[in-house]
Amino acid sequence: MGVNALWISAPFEQIHGWVGGGTKGDFPHYAYHGYYTQDWTNLDANMGNEADLRTLVDSAHQRGIRILFDVVMNHTGYATLADMQEYQFGALYLSGDEVKKSLGERWSDWKPAAGQTWHSFNDYINFSDKTGWDKWWGKNWIRTDIGDYDNPGFDDLTMSLAFLPDIKTESTTASGLPVFYKNKMDTHAKAIDGYTPRDYLTHWLSQWVRDYGIDGFRVDTAKHVELPAWQQLKTEASAALREWKKANPDKALDDKPFWMTGEAWGHGVMQSDYYRHGFDAMINFDYQEQAAKAVDCLAQMDTTWQQMAEKLQGFNVLSYLSSHDTRLFREGATKQQSYYY
């Protein structure tokens, strides 16, 4: 097949339950994509268990295939009814028997009634209750418009992307573990003196490399996190892979180092500062539209390939035809073909 690497969705434990999906709230939206992480030390149950992961990695390595994880350090996931009930954070406008009457025994079983949408569950939540929301991540960890947390900013590094809680990866203040982890009995997270949110995240992510021999990361939302944070992740993950290969010489493919690529929206073929802060390649967002020319005539790609060959001197980019960040290539190709009829 010519496949030498598998990039898999972030396998870490996601928020439980659902949030309202779409602008109209016409469906329940689950964190199937891996971008709403709430515990970087656990596998998400929907991805399988640790034995499954080890089998995947070992089987791939036996076939000369490397494994890359998608990883997120910029944000966590939204607050859900399921997590509020299970981990005892947040606050409702309901009390006593009203809770069971409106939400049911298990809050995540709630469904919109006539005149409601899947966004309507928010109407039951008191997002202003400072005491209740202090029991969530804690002010040392995130910024959000909820409760008494610091408000998000308006720049790439401090904004709330899609209204998601923004992790304070720039903080130099020791944070302790997320507050709600006190009620999360299955977490493997251990408090480490002096650690900041960035320190915890890079430590937790690198541990997967150390335990399983993960070969690389595809970094999500790279432009929304400080460059030194990515260098720290690359340094720690690289050390972890060296340790794993030394401890597992019979499983190691070779002595190649840890590899990291990043998604920074709109990045093209250029050697930006990301390459000086841990990244071996960046996703080339220009290529999909350029490659659409080949639908009509492959020879029209000659100019694109020539330009890439001239620009790619001493660095690399990751170019692909289809991306979940944009659209499927065949959709663009079908649209382009329709112009001729």
Write the single-letter amino acid at 8.
I
Q: What pLDDT is stored for residue 313 in this prediction?
A: 86
Number of Cβ within a 10 Å radius of residue 147: 20
Instruction: Give 153-199 as a DSSP string.
Output: -SSTTTS-GGGPPEE-TT--S---S-GGGGG-TT------TT--HHH
Q: In this predicted structure, which of 146-160, 172-186, 257-271 has the lowest mean pLDDT?
A: 257-271
CATH superfamily of 5-77+169-283: Glycosidases (3.20.20.80)
Average pLDDT in the chain: 93
The single residue of 39, 215, 263, 286 carrying the catalytic annotation is 263
How far is it, in rounded angstroms, from Cα 131 to Cα 127? 10
User: Is 70 exceeded by the pLDDT of residue 102?
Assistant: yes
Question: Does residue 263 have an active-site annotation?
Answer: yes
The per-residue pLDDT for range 293-321, each reduced to its tens digit, is 777 777 777 887 788 888 888 889 987 77
Tokens linked to 12: 């870490």
Write the single-letter amino acid at 44.
D
Taking the model in full, what pTM does it have? 0.93
318: β partners: 283
The answer to whether 73 and 12 are in contact (CB under 8 A) is: no
User: Is 80 exceeded by the pLDDT of residue 96?
Assistant: yes
Number of Cβ within a 10 Å radius of residue 221: 19
Positive or negative: CA dihedral 211, 216, 220, 225? positive
Nearest to 207 by CA among 40, 73, 77, 72: 40
The per-residue pLDDT for range 183-239, each reduced to its tens digit, is 999 999 999 999 999 999 999 999 999 999 999 999 999 999 999 999 999 999 999
The single residue of 44, 220, 236, 286 carrying the catalytic annotation is 220
Question: Does residue 215 have an active-site annotation?
Answer: no
Q: What pLDDT is stored for residue 340 in this prediction?
A: 36
- Domain chopping of the chain, boundaries: 5-77+169-283
